[in-house]
Amino acid sequence: MALWWLSYRLLDRPFGVAIINASNLDHARMIAVIDGIDKGFTFAGGHLLDEDQAATIKPGEIGRLLFLPLAEEVQTRFKRKPV
């Protein structure tokens, strides 16, 4: 399985993301709906995290909605280069 980054909007503004463990994007979206993670927010897009990005994700960040401030913090980890 792979990790997928699903972005959500509320009132046409970025709201948060869900990081879902799934085999493909459709599967990730289905999991988000079944588990109630999206809670009626508007799906804005999704993409597969590469191996380096996936390695920065903490177990508690998978399978739930990460509100925008935490989502942005997670995203900054993607940009850091190992020393």
pLDDT digits (tens, 9 = 90+) for 5-61: 999 999 999 999 999 999 999 999 999 999 999 888 999 999 999 999 999 999 999
> Has residue 4 got a pLDDT over 80?
yes
Check if the beta carbon of residue 17 is closer than 8 Å to that of residue 71: yes
User: Where are the chain's structural domains?
Assistant: 2-79
Q: At CB < 8 A and 24+ separation, what contacts does 29-37 make?
A: 31/63, 32/6, 35/63, 37/63, 37/64, 37/65
